Amino acid sequence: MAFHGGASSSSFAPRWDYDVFLSFRGEDTLGGFTSYLYRALCKSGIWPFIDLELPRGEEISDEVIKAIERSMVLIIVFSENYAESKWCLDELAKIVECRENDQKVLLYPIFYNIDPSEVRNQKGNFGLALAKHEENFKNNMDKVQRWRESLSKAASTSGWHYKKGSSAKHQSEFIQQIVQYMTSSFVSRGMKSFVVQYPVGINSRVEAIKSLLDIELNEVRMVGIHGLAGVGKTTLAKAIYNIFAYSFDEISFLENVREKSRTKDGIIELQESLLFNVTRGRFVKVDNVLQGTKLIEDKLCHKRVFLVLDDVDNSGQVENLLGKCDWFASGSRVIISTRDRRVLTTLGDNPLIYEVKGLDQCESHELFSLHAFGRQKGRQKSNEEYSKLAEQIVCYANGLPLALVIMGSNLYGRTLREWECAIRRYKEIPDREIQKILKISFESLGKTEQEIFLDIACFLNGLDMDYVVNILEACNLYSSSSIQRLVDNCLITVDERGKLSMHGLVQQMGREIVRQESPGVPRKRSRICTLEDSFKVLTTTKGSNRIRGILLISPKPKTVTFHPKAFKIMENLKFLIVRNVHIDEGLNYLPKGLRLLDWPDFSFSLPSTFNPQHLVALNMPCSLIRLEKVLNQGFQLGRLKYMNFDYCKSITKLPKLCTPSLKRLSLSGCKNLVEVHPSIGSHDKLESWFLVDCEKLQTLPDCLMMKSLQYFSLRGCSRLEKFPDIQPGMESLRILSLSKSGIRELPSSIEYLTGLEILQLNFCENLRDLPYSIYKLQRLYILRASNCSKLKIDKGPPCNSVGSLSKCGFLSLEIF
């Protein structure tokens, strides 16, 4: 988001891109000392530039020159062969020049296995190297003289001396001494306020946020950092603050804004902290919130500021600190980190938001290993058994840094057996510390949103968004806006295909909340999600009206006996999902309040007493259900929207449906389905109809008038020879798949499918030609007709030969 503040300021360009520039002779130290120093600096949150991959020519590159000019501290690692490299000497000359031009720039030499006097006076190897350069540069002695002067000046500066013959332990301590000095130097000069201890995977994320901040622009920018609890928002904010803060007139980093804003006194303390930071340590007394907001505006409105508000969970907290955010001087930057996206969208149109994603597999392994193995990393990591267990934990954490750090720290120094026990425990009951942090987002939700979250965590994760919304709304949970709230709080995500998903640890957190309703007595909980607890409830009479849903999934096929009255006392049951579990006798009763019945491989008929008047989704693929019998039982199915009876061998006919609200009907793989009742052809709510691989299907309705149908698949219906006539009004159909069907011809009325975009006719071996009216389908852009041996197609008919045709031929046509 780009705000234009009222106060003016001169244009501002960033001064530093890097904290440290490292100049070194690669063949001397890159494989050892310099690499160790680089890693130690990174680990301490110091941002170094190191030239590892840039091509080396006769002159140093523009990129290296720019890096030197944009680095706050310049470190030269003088080693035995440093002066032999013209590249190194050019770097050195540029470094000394930058230091002389700007006293704010710090220069530190490190004398690695070399005496400082040899560098300062060009003796020993340094003297020999310079003598050779004088031979090679007889026509450019000024260059060599500049190198000599730069060596003398740099070597006369206070730095560090690592003497020959020192031990590896001494080298490690030597590097730590340098890093500690650098860290304290940054802090004392107001350059750094935070140390990012484990900056794993941080570089690319920092670069993305730097791009959003676009510091060179002379305008006000507010950037949001949004993501799940524990994903690293605060770490990123600190890293960005370290890079840019010292280049602004005034700076402030306010941590834990959510927690501190719980009371009026807490808000006032935050305001006083901000004022203390921007007045350079002078305490300003604030009597009330309104006064504090006004003081902050008055103090900062003419200054270019860099502010970070960390862990904000509502826009009121921003307003208490920054008012309406319309008073900043040009060039100011504000970063807000939050779990709730709505905080950011209230700050203006088209907000600039960086979505923090989890670590990838390699990054996750690195972060976990740093905490789990520490100094034992080398020994334990080579142990194959530890590596396999580490892999399990990395998969379980699914890229969440918080979980990797906590579990790694908990397992540090533990035996293999302790690791195995811990992993089993984590999978059953989440770590309390992880749970506590993730639960904060849940606790910020309203009652309805909490119920929806728990339903998704227990029963609906991984399903289509539209499907979930319809089921939840049938439970009197107005879910569209509530689901968006869950998305805004990073509790769920919805991908580009409309699939709803939840991080594994967030789902486990939700299920643990349910378990804690009654840890020892499953029947007193609102939802039953584990195999063991489901068996306890369903094989006895120990259910209750409290139970809202049951998820019964067995890893292996299992046959059980349900108690005849198990469901009788569960009148509030809304969700029943059973997978890989077979019952040895039919059911006598199912609650009439069910909204979702999902039971593949069901071996019996539904109870005659079942009244599914509230049912929204009925999924019973691979079952022995006879559909005509189900629908002839007089069931009231007015709310049913989804039916899935794929691969049901007992279905021979699709009878008349008393399902006026049906949106999706799937009968794919029903090998014995022969005919479809004519009334289905005029169903006006059906959107998707799947009859894939119904090999015996011969009869469809004579005509189709299905105004809502968007996707219709008859792929593999090899005995279906005639496609129905199409009535006007079927503009919604976008995809029609007839591949591998027995269709002999398409009706001329296909012209009424004015919204058709994709027509699939591959392997239609009986199809001879296409009706000329097909060229009226102006939205058709893919016609697939490969392996249609008898088919002849005119790819490009004359443009003016068919009515008002505005396009010639097809955009994509496959014929083989």
The span from the CA of 470 to the CA of 640, in Å, is 10
Q: Is the distance from CB of 509 to CB of 498 less than 8 angstroms?
A: no
- Catalytic one of 91, 363, 687, 751: 91
Q: How many CA atoms lie within 13 A of 363 on its CB side?
A: 18
Q: Which helix (H) or strand (E) holds 438?
A: helix 432-443
Q: Buried b / exposed e across 80-93, counting CB within 10 Å, b at 16+?
A: bbbbbbbbbbbbbb
Determine phi and psi for 594, rounding to 5 degrees: -60, 135
Nearest to 782, CA basis, from 754, 752, 809, 800: 809
Distance of CA 412 to the CA centre of its chain: 28
Structure letter (DSSP) for residue 272: H
For β-strands 725-726 and 711-713, DSSP reports them as: unpaired
User: Could you tell me the CA-to-CA distances from 192 to 188, 241, 246, 256 in Å, in that order?
Assistant: 8, 8, 8, 19
Distance of CA 277 to the CA centre of its chain: 34
The span from the CA of 583 to the CA of 587, in Å, is 9
Q: How many CB atoms lie within 10 A of CB 806?
A: 7
Say which residue the tokens 């769920």 belong to.
Answer: 492
Length of the chain: 816
- Catalytic residue check, 216: no
DSSP per residue over 398-439, as a string?
TT-HHHHHHHHHHHTT--HHHHHHHHHHHHHS--HHHHHHHH
Nearest to 356, CA basis, from 370, 331, 335: 335
Please report, as a single letter, which amino acid is at residue 309. Answer: L
For β-strands 220-226 and 2-3, DSSP reports them as: antiparallel
For β-strands 333-338 and 305-312, DSSP reports them as: parallel
Extract the runs of DSSP E, i.e. beta strands, from 317-458: 333-338, 352-355
Structure letter (DSSP) for residue 281: S
- Reduced to 3 states (helix: H, G, I; strand: E, B; else coil), residue 308 is strand
Tokens of 741: 């069907």
For β-strands 596-598 and 575-583, DSSP reports them as: parallel
- Reduced to 3 states (helix: H, G, I; strand: E, B; else coil), residue 11 is coil
Q: Is the distance from CB of 450 to CB of 510 less than 8 angstroms?
A: no
Where does residue 693 rank: exposed (0-12), middle (13-18), buried (19+ CB within 10 A)?
Answer: buried
Q: Is the distance from CB of 301 to CB of 327 less than 8 angstroms?
A: yes
Q: Is the distance from CB of 547 to CB of 521 less than 8 angstroms?
A: no
Tokens of 109: 């030499």
User: Could you tell me the CA-to-CA distances from 776 to 254, 323, 780, 795 in Å, in that order?
Assistant: 63, 59, 9, 13
Q: Is the distance from CB of 148 to CB of 122 less than 8 angstroms?
A: yes
Structure letter (DSSP) for residue 744: -
- Return left, alpha or beta for 181; rule: phi > 0 is left, psi -120 to 50 is alpha, else beta: alpha
Write the CB contacts of 747 (distance below 8 Å, at least 6 apart in sequence): 723, 724, 725, 726, 771
Q: Is the distance from CB of 272 to CB of 284 less than 8 angstroms?
A: yes
Q: Is the distance from CB of 560 to CB of 581 less than 8 angstroms?
A: yes
The residues annotated as belonging to the active site are 91
